[in-house]
């Protein structure tokens, strides 16, 4: 038999929560042999509990506040606060002032007018249009998420969707679920489901990673925004002592970093944070989610390829002479067939020549 003992405090059952729900409480865990404690989420229909919070051993002679991001939980659930005793009773554990905040669904509205508002079909709530198609059921009836283009969003439950790992970087983003391997870093759950069964992407900062190693995640080709604005929404989690930097770049030329749209530096606490970027572009463009060697999880993305500068570098395997053709100086000659295409189709990541020669030897735009 183990000398350790576990005391469990169970909450009543709750029916559901809204998308901005948080749980907070004050705890005291002090003594040489006081042992650890954790709060688990038990969801109806799910066998695996989700650990929401942990404290390891003595935290000093003080009361500390815990704030836990619950988010949207559509199924009935309850909590289990588990306290582990090491069998040596030299310490005190206590909990007080348990509080839920912002957990109600949005109330029904008699009307919902304006270009930036959305009227939920079933609950009749009136929500901001930026909450539509963001992979979160903000309405409470799912109507804000049931008419969305799957090619413009990804929650990583079924792989990377139409996003890609950059083959030119130093290492790759890793798709996992549940807590990250390193204790006291990263999330314990994903943002989409709010449980340990949901997937997300993260980067591991431990060896053999080097300080300047980079991992880059590439979006699909996105069409020009025209006179409008493209909205890019995502959730990120930056928690731990070794967290460094997370950046998003936009580029209209391949094999180049592009220009910086957004970045965040350092520890942002143990929570998923929503970020919205407004993007304008007259050309097809691509987004790059880039991080040096440090642990940064990515949650869900909401919302191809790009041209490069037309140069030929030494060492490229192209014929020394072009085939017979009737192309003008403003046209590109396909290497195998001699077929003519518009120069604008050169290095646009869309092969127009049968041998794809219009997409070879594309250099960088510095």
CA distance 304 to 162: 9
296, 290 Cβ separation under 8 angstroms: no
Q: Which pTM was predicted?
A: 0.77
CA distance 144 to 121: 8
- Cα-based distances in Å from 140 to 18, 198, 273: 7, 19, 21
**Residue 278: how many other CB atoms lie within 10 Å:** 10
CA distance 299 to 142: 19
CB-count burial class (<10 Å; 0-12, 13-18, 19+) for 93: buried
User: What's the pLDDT score for residue 208?
Assistant: 57
Locate 214 and state its tokens.
Answer: 């980079």
pLDDT in tens, 33-92: 788 899 999 999 999 999 999 988 788 999 999 999 999 999 999 999 998 776 666 788
145, 133 Cβ separation under 8 angstroms: yes
Sign of the C-alpha dihedral computed for residues 309, 311, 313 and 317 taken in this order: positive
82, 40 Cβ separation under 8 angstroms: yes
User: What's the pLDDT score for residue 316?
Assistant: 28
User: What's the pLDDT score for residue 315?
Assistant: 28
Q: Helices then strands (H, E): number in the chain? A: 0, 22
User: What's the pLDDT score for residue 332?
Assistant: 84
Strand positions, DSSP E, 61-213: 64-69, 77-85, 92-101, 117-119, 126-128, 153-154, 164-165, 174-177, 199-202
User: What's the pLDDT score for residue 310?
Assistant: 28
User: What's the pLDDT score for residue 293?
Assistant: 53
CA 342 to centroid of chain Cα atoms: 38
User: What's the pLDDT score for residue 327?
Assistant: 81
Cis omega (within 30 of 0) on the bond before 244? no
Task: Report the candidate in 132, 294, 293, 296 with the shortest Cα–Cα distance to residue 200.
Answer: 296
User: What's the pLDDT score for residue 324?
Assistant: 63
- Cα-based distances in Å from 344 to 57, 282, 308, 348, 352: 64, 15, 10, 8, 11
pLDDT of the chain along its 366 residues, tens only? 445 678 899 999 999 999 999 999 999 998 887 888 999 999 999 999 999 999 887 889 999 999 999 999 999 999 999 987 766 667 888 999 999 999 999 999 999 998 899 999 999 999 999 999 999 999 999 999 999 999 899 999 999 999 999 888 888 899 999 998 877 778 999 999 999 999 999 987 655 556 567 889 999 988 887 778 899 999 999 988 777 789 999 998 877 778 999 999 888 989 999 999 999 898 899 999 988 754 555 555 554 333 333 222 222 223 334 566 778 877 888 888 888 988 878 777 778 888 888 877 654 322
Residues 6+ apart with CB under 8 A from 160: 154, 175, 201, 217
């Amino acid at each position: 038999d183990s000398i350790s003992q576990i005391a469990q405090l169970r909450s009543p059952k709750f029916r559901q929560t809204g998308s901005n729900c948080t749980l907070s409480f004050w705890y005291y865990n002090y003594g040489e042999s006081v042992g650890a404690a954790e709060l688990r989420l038990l969801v109806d229909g799910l066998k695996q509990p989700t650990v929401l919070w942990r404290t390891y051993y003595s935290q000093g002679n003080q009361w500390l506040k815990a704030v836990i991001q619950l988010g949207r939980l559509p199924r009935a659930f309850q909590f289990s606060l588990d306290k582990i005793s090491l069998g040596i009773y030299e310490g005190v554990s206590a909990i007080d002032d348990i509080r839920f905040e912002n957990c109600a669904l949005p109330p029904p509205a008699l009307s919902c007018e304006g270009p930036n508002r959305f009227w939920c079909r079933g609950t009749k709530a009136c929500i901001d249009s930026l909450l539509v198609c963001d992979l979160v059921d903000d309405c409470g009836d799912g109507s804000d998420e049931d008419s969305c283009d799957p090619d413009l969003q990804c929650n990583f439950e079924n792989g990377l969707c139409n996003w890609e790992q950059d083959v030119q970087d130093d290492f790759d983003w890793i798709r996992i679920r549940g807590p990250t391997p390193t204790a006291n870093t990263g999330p314990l759950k994903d943002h989409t489901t709010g449980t340990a069964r949901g997937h997300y992407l993260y980067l591991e900062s431990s060896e053999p990673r080097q300080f300047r190693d980079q991992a880059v995640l590439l979006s699909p080709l996105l069409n020009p925004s025209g006179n409008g604005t493209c909205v890019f929404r995502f959730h990120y989690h930056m928690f731990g002592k070794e967290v460094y930097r997370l950046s998003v770049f936009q580029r209209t030329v391949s094999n180049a970093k592009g220009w910086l749209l957004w970045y965040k530096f350092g520890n942002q606490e143990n929570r998923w944070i929503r970020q919205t970027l407004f993007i304008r572009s007259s050309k097809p463009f691509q987004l790059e989610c880039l991080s040096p060697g440090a642990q940064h999880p990515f949650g869900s993305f909401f919302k191809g390829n790009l041209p490069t500068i037309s140069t030929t570098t030494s060492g490229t395997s192209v014929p020394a002479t072009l085939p017979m053709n009737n192309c003008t100086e403003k046209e590109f000659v396909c290497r195998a067939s001699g077929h003519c295409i518009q120069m604008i189709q050169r290095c646009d990541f869309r092969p127009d020549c049968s041998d794809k020669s219009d997409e070879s030897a594309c250099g960088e735009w510095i």
